[in-house]
Homo-oligomer: A and B are copies of this chain.
Amino acid sequence: MKKHNFFAGPAVLPEAVKKQAGEAALSLDEMGGLSILEISHRSTFFSDVMEEAQSLVKELLGLGDDFDVMFLTGGASSQFYMVPLNILGSNESAAFVDTGTWSTKAIKEAHRYGNISIIADSKDKNFSYIPKDYDIPTDLRYLHLTSNNTIYGTQLKSLPETNVPIVCDMSSDIFSRKIDPSRYDIIYAGAQKNLGPAGTTIVITRKGILGKTDRDIPTMLDYQTHINKGSMFNTPPVYPVYVCYLTLKWLKELGGVENMAEKNHEKGHLLYDEIDRNPCFEGTVNKEDRSLMNACFLLKDSSKDDIFLKMCDDAGIMGIKGHRSVGGFRASIYNALSKESVQVLVDVMKAFEAKNG
């Protein structure tokens, strides 16, 4: 039976990418039949992959020559301290909007490097909305935002009005829609949602922002190290980067992020329309802040959760159980998830209504 992959991350990859990735792990024609798992990162084959992956990131996000792209490791969790370590002077200030678990962690790590303030949060309603109309100080080194909150199913639909440079954790919605590069000093994203398997993290930095803190930064934690060496200062995570490269090529062939944004709107509407229509279910998030990547919803009668989960399971739906912080269900509908899979979920919701409504 075909499986429908709604995991929140690591998450669904395009069929074509999986096929090529699996074949490369078995044997790579370009390397005489060796596996991509056992070739030098200094080989021409992989050097080209790394370079092309970086330039695809720039092309797909519309980044100009004023940005550098790195493939690092350590997850977005490592960026929580690496960003302020690299760009926040100890007398400088950064402000955060706390939209749940991940931004909360980013705030905790940033505290040791400069003056940190939380200028807005949505704690009062279990992070079920995106704060708006908050005051943004003008003397900030940067404002930190989380563009999509995987756990709570909220998404930032527009950036706040400010001239302050923005640092953004885009882990769970990068490449899902167009962005305005001019607003950002740093963008970072773990690969394992919209881009590839776990094991690499994209970091995008605006040129000219580094080297200004007078801080003694360990070589491996200094962005400049990796920029200077094209993310090949030390052995990079070859295979995760390769799979990201395949996904980026797939994305470009499909028409890039604009085409993807359209598809994501269609999938999102299909699912949210059913959540709103079906009397058995309810969404957990303020409607205008609903994420097109992670849809969180509840059964009005939670005593029937297991019945619904069993029906999902029987239909080949995987990874639909909600995060413990929200409960209920979470459908992660990233770029690579097909509309057909969303339709299968909607059909199960309708079947549930017919039997239990």
> In the complex, which residues of chain B have a beta carbon less than 8 angstroms from the beta carbon of A75?
73, 220, 234-235
Find out whether the CB atom of A22 lies under 8 angstroms from the CB atom of B13. no
Residues of chain B within 8 A of A112, CB atoms compared = 216, 218
Across the interface, do A218 and B10 meet the contact criterion of CB distance under 8 Å?
no
Whether B8 lies near A197 (C-beta < 8 A) is no
1/0 per position for A17-33, CB-CB distance to B under 8 A?
01101110111000111
Q: Mark A193-214, 1 if CB is under 8 A from B, else 0.
A: 0001111100000000000000
A38 with B218, Cβ < 8 A, contacts A22-B22, A23-B22, A234-B77 known? no
Judge whether A316 is part of the interface by a CB distance below 8 angstroms: yes
Q: State in angstroms the CA–CA spacing of A192 and B22 once bound together.
A: 19
Q: Does A122 contact B (CB under 8 A)?
A: no
Q: How many angstroms from the CA of A237 to the CA of B109 in the assembled complex?
A: 22
A11 to B75, CA, bound (A): 25
| B25 near A21: Cβ-Cβ < 8 Å | yes
**Residues from chain B with Cβ under 8 Å of A90 in the complex:** none
Which residue of chain B has the shortest Cβ distance to A36 in the bound complex?
Answer: B197
Interface of chain A residues 1 through 58 with chain B (CB within 8 A): 1, 3, 5, 7-13, 18-19, 21-23, 25-27, 31-35, 37-41
- Cα of A35 to Cα of B25 in the assembled complex, Å: 12
CB of A108 closer than 8 Å to a CB of B: yes
Q: Do A38 and B197 form a contact, CB below 8 Å, given A10-B235, A10-B238, A25-B22?
A: yes
For residue A80, CB closer than 8 A to chain B, the reply is yes
Question: Looking across the interface, which residue of chain B has its beta carbon closest to that of A336?
Answer: B38
A239 at the interface (CB under 8 A from B): yes
Q: Residues of B contacting A35 with CB < 8 Å?
A: 13, 18, 21-22
Q: How far is the CB of A121 from chain B (nearest CB, A)?
A: 20
Task: With A13-B38, A22-B26, A37-B21 as known contacts, state yes or no: A237 contacts B240, CB within 8 Å.
Answer: yes
Is A165 part of the contact surface with B, judged by Cβ < 8 Å?
no
**B interface footprint on A167-199 (CB within 8 Å = 1, 0 otherwise):** 000000000000000000000001010001111
Top 8 nearest A-B pairs (CB, nearest first) are A22-B26, A199-B237, A73-B73, A81-B218, A22-B25, A37-B197, A77-B234, A198-B238
- A residues with a Cβ closer than 8 A to B are 1, 3, 5, 7-13, 18-19, 21-23, 25-27, 31-35, 37-41, 73-78, 80-81, 85, 105, 108-109, 112, 190, 192, 196-200, 216, 218-221, 233-240, 243, 316, 318-319
Q: Can you list 17 pairs linking A and B with CB atoms under 8 Å apart? A: A10-B40, A21-B35, A22-B25, A23-B26, A73-B237, A74-B74, A75-B220, A77-B234, A80-B218, A81-B218, A85-B218, A109-B219, A112-B216, A197-B238, A199-B199, A199-B240, A239-B239
